[in-house]
Structure 1
Amino acid sequence: MIIVAATDFSTRSHRALRQAGLLARSRRAELHLVHVVDEDQPADLVRMEEREAQRVLVEQIGSMPELHDARCYPTVVKGHPFDGILRAAAAVGADLIVMGRPSQAIFARYFYRDHHRTCHSRWKISRADGEQRGPAAL
């Protein structure tokens, strides 16, 4: 099994990473921690954010007990957050996407409505609040 855990480094994302880590350990799954850097900004700033995001992901893997003994891979991609998460999931052949509860209604509307067919036909999505969407439960 391959799991993608999307993070924006918020508290909601932190809970999702912990949940994903526990699941990855119990299933002996690969866990890809994915952060998306907005590329609609100056190139120097994008590069700086990519480096910093990579550093934070590696730090989280080392410091979060739920990620110990899990096969974790830090991944930073550029683009729009919604598309970046889906591209990262497709690139690794993910079976499950775990994410924190969206903080903004626009995120929920875009990701869960506009990408409804794409997500539901390819991946099961689990939010840290326990709501699950997508193909049959694991």
Structure 2
Amino acid sequence: RAACCAYPFAVRTFVFAMPLSMACPIMLESLLFDLRTRNPTLFVYFYRRYCWLLVAAFFHVSKIPERIQPGLFDIVGHSHQLFHIFTFLSIYDQVHYVEDGLAEFLKAPLAAPTYLGTVGYMLLLMLCLAVVVRRFLNVADLCKQ
């Protein structure tokens, strides 16, 4: 399937990059407001998560254990297993910072929802999804030719 498309890596790149979009709200909060002093626990969990992801990517791409001792890490300890271990650690930190963020949110007084803040965001999301679906339908038509 990937052999017929002009850019087969684009879908894989999107799949790997899409979860990073979850970091945007916290990254903006960290940059605009002093997150380190306002909520140090959230700050540590958030940035440690991305350190774990960088370590996971490093082991997955570099294949360090197999290159150092070929044959020794064929069953236990190869780079793909290390990738999953460090990815698990990043997910573990993600769960903690989401729980901590929700606890902080529940402590604050709730603002009344607005029409634009509910239906507007839903319509914007539907528009974005329609653009993505339309784009992939066009790519699928090109692959058939």
TM-score, normalised to structure 2, is 0.26
Structure number having the greater helix percentage: 2
Q: Which has the higher contact order (CA 8 A, sep 6+)?
A: 1
Structure whose alpha-carbon radius of gyration is higher: 2
TM-score (norm 1): 0.27
- Whichever structure has more strand as a proportion of its residues is 1
